[in-house]
């Protein structure tokens, strides 16, 4: 693989994981403060929603790059180092965090219009 392409995919993979963390942390903060934040700081709620939405979009776009190069960039190196179980656990954790965050935004929007 071309070294420049490998570097781009590597950075894309890092940003994908970072976007997942931002999505989760933004959602967690919004979830914990959903009863108080809209009343105290009404302008923050739409910004948090945009940040969460932007990070989710980044997860999707960067995930497409990650999926395209998953075999040579992640699976084969993990297989060689006998770390497939760790790689699978990482992806289960990240999918779980993303799924919970998506559910939480849906739930917050649905219950009493607290967010957004």
pLDDT at position 75 is 84
pLDDT at position 92 is 95
Phi, psi of 81 (to 5 degrees): -90, 5
pLDDT at position 1 is 76
pLDDT at position 15 is 96
pLDDT at position 112 is 59
- Sign of torsion, CA 10 48 57 86? positive
d(CA 17, CA 20): 5
Q: How many CA atoms lie within 13 A of 61 on its CB side?
A: 10
pLDDT at position 55 is 97
- Would you give per-residue pLDDT tens digits along the chain (116 residues)? 789 998 999 999 999 999 999 999 999 999 998 888 878 888 888 899 999 999 999 999 999 998 999 888 888 888 889 989 998 998 899 899 999 999 999 998 888 554 45
């Amino acid at each position: 693989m071309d070294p420049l392409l490998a570097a781009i995919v590597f950075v894309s993979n890092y940003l994908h994981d970072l976007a997942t963390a931002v999505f989760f942390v933004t959602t967690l903060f919004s979830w914990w403060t959903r009863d108080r934040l809209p009343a105290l700081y009404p302008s923050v709620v739409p910004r948090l929603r945009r940040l969460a939405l932007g990070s989710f979009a980044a997860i999707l776009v960067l995930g497409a790059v990650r999926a395209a190069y998953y075999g040579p960039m992640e699976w084969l190196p993990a297989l060689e180092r006998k770390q497939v179980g760790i790689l699978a656990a990482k992806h289960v954790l990240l999918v779980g965090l993303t799924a919970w965050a998506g559910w939480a935004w849906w739930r917050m929007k649905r219950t009493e219009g607290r967010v957004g």
